[in-house]
Amino acid sequence: MSKKVVIAGSASLKKKMQKWVDFWEAKSDHEVIDYPNPIDKSKMLTEYPKVHQEFFRNLTRADLVFVANEDKGGVRGYIGAETFAELAFAVAQNLVYGKNIEIILAKMPSEKVQSFDEINLWLELGWIKLAKERVAA
């Protein structure tokens, strides 16, 4: 039985997200069930709610949530509000419902990342961890 993987991160970094999809799919015991995809801006109000709802449903099915926090806008290990919400949702499922979702960050975020203090605390508590492997970006 393969581990169900959900990749969280910035949909605007499509090529980098695809590298992470390829990385996880290359592992014989992993299946990527969702990852960020850009939404056409002209369809944002109609498509976003459906895409968002489906992504959170898939987070409830995940065995592993991988936060592909690539550098963005000059910020190392960028994590925006949306990605932090997805990360927090995975942590909350473990804490409240006793799930055992493995949560991995691609890299340590910069102190410029708004949620840096929470991320650092969650790492110290062992609720999330940093990746041991990297893919060339």
Q: What was the pLDDT predicted at 135?
A: 57
The residue type found at 74 is G
- 111-132: average pLDDT: 96
Task: Provide the b/e sequence for 5-25 (b: ≥16 CB within 10 Å).
Answer: bbbbbbeebeebbeebbebbe
The strand ranges marked E within the chain are 3-8, 30-34, 64-67, 102-105, 129-130
pLDDT of 6 > 80? The answer is yes
How is residue 19 written in tokens?
A: 């590298």
pLDDT of 101 > 80? The answer is yes
Tokens of 46: 């109609």
Q: What is the pTM of this model?
A: 0.93
> What's residue 137's pLDDT?
46
**Which amino acid makes up residue 88?**
A
**CATH topology (fold) of 3-130:** Rossmann fold (3.40.50)
What is the rounded CA–CA span in Å between residue 134 and residue 71? 14
Amino acid 133: pLDDT: 65
> Domain-by-domain residue ranges, the chain?
3-130
Positive or negative CA dihedral for 57, 106, 63, 7? positive
Please report the pLDDT score of residue 3 as a whole number: 96
Residue for token digits 């840096």?
116
